[in-house]
Amino acid sequence: MTQPSLTLSSTVERWPIAGSFGISRGVKTEAVVVVAELADGKARGRGECVPYLRYGETVESVTAQIEGLRPQIEAGLDRRTLQSAMPPGAARNALDCAFWDLEAKRSGRPVHELAGIATPAALTTAFTISLAAPADMAKAAANAASRALLKIKLGADGDPDRIAAVRNAAPKATLIVDANEGWTEGNLGSNLAACAQAGVVLIEQPLPAGKDEALARIERTIPVCADESMHDRASLPALAGKYEAVNIKLDKTGGLTEALATAAEAERKKFTIMVGCMVATSLAMAPAVLLAQTARFVDLDGPLLLSKDRPGGMRYQGSLVYPPAAALWG
């Protein structure tokens, strides 16, 4: 049966962050997202992405990529042909997730069923402590000390003091650290020792992507997770010997379709799976919750970092994030 032709729209949205969000590359006070919507007159599907300058993306470039595909979408391009029509990245993520949502709305079947995923359950998500002075990070950690899993943003001089401050403020929480490429070979040893002393269970991207060969030479007791070094299936071969885990994000893989394939391939290669996100609303988290069902680590706290989420957003209760309602996505 031939499906009705589609119309495409894209919208830029700005969502204030509660306070600020700091990592090694800087501080931001709002999440700027692009939402793609596909509609056929009866059903509509939406997908949200976050353009990321680290990967050469801007709001303007991502919007132009989405709009540039309008003729092909209106001529019948679908989710499967999208994969070769556009490179991985934020723009394809928005469109891929919009196609999944549209397929679910058209068929009356949830995305997890269409994708062959078991009925999703609530997951324990990390909560991020932004990079700041040790005293400020300790205060933030104390306020979040009841959460099961905290992710500490690092990547500046004095990180051992930050690690110790957070651990003292949240003695019972499981800790992940994320240096966002901010460490060097020179301070790698001291920072790893501080992580070990604090009982950190995972270290994300300590060294810059492409300049991380030292990870293959050092002895360590804590697994290291590739983030900026990890995009999609094509990234995996180069990670062996340097990383034990991979952080899969839909904005990097270019959508749920490739993310599912990447996770399957990573598991075959014996990598531990983490599913992460950019700071965004529940519309961006919804497909990632499906991907994260079999992940060892889940970092989908984007909406918790905002001043407010979009209406009808996902349910968060303590450290748990629940699967999305169909009205939101999927």
137-165 as b/e: b if 16+ CB within 10 A: bbebbeebeebebbbbbbbbeebbebbeb
Domain of 174: which CATH number? 3.20.20.120
Give the range of the structural domain holding residue 165, as residue numbers without chain letter: 123-321
- Do 95 and 163 lie in one domain? The reply is no
Q: Chain-wide mean pLDDT for the chain?
A: 95
Query: Which among 105, 151, 249, 252 is annotated as catalytic?
Result: 249
How many domains are there within the chain? 2
Residue with tokens 């270290």: 203
- Do 315 and 196 lie in one domain? The reply is yes
Q: What pTM does this model have? A: 0.95
- Do 33 and 80 lie in one domain? The reply is yes
Q: What is the mean pLDDT of residues 3-9?
A: 88
Question: Could you give the CA distance from residue 306 to residue 43 in angstroms, rounded to a whole number?
Answer: 29
Q: What is the pLDDT of residue 1?
A: 52
Domain-located, residue 54: yes
- Do 31 and 98 lie in one domain? The reply is yes
User: How many other β-carbons are positioned within 10 Å of the β-carbon of residue 76?
Assistant: 11
- Does residue 153 carry a catalytic annotation? yes
Domain-located, residue 56: yes
Query: Which among 105, 151, 153, 252 is annotated as catalytic?
Result: 153
For 98-142, the pLDDT digits (tens) are: 999 999 999 999 999 999 999 999 999 999 999 999 999 999 999
User: What are the structure tokens assigned to 275, written together?
Assistant: 């599913």
For 159-207, the pLDDT digits (tens) are: 999 999 999 999 999 999 999 999 999 999 999 999 999 999 999 999 9
For 199-244, the pLDDT digits (tens) are: 999 999 999 999 999 999 988 899 999 999 999 999 999 999 999 9
Q: What is the pLDDT of residue 2?
A: 63
Mark residue 113 as left, alpha or beta (left: phi above 0; alpha: psi -120 to 50; beta: remaining): alpha
- Do 132 and 44 lie in one domain? The reply is no
- Do 200 and 315 lie in one domain? The reply is yes
Query: Is the pLDDT score of 95 beyond 60?
Result: yes
- Does residue 172 carry a catalytic annotation? no
Q: Kindly give, in sequence order, each residue whose CB lies less than 8 Å from that of residue 66, ignoring residues fewer than 6 positions away.
A: 8, 10, 34, 36, 91, 94, 95
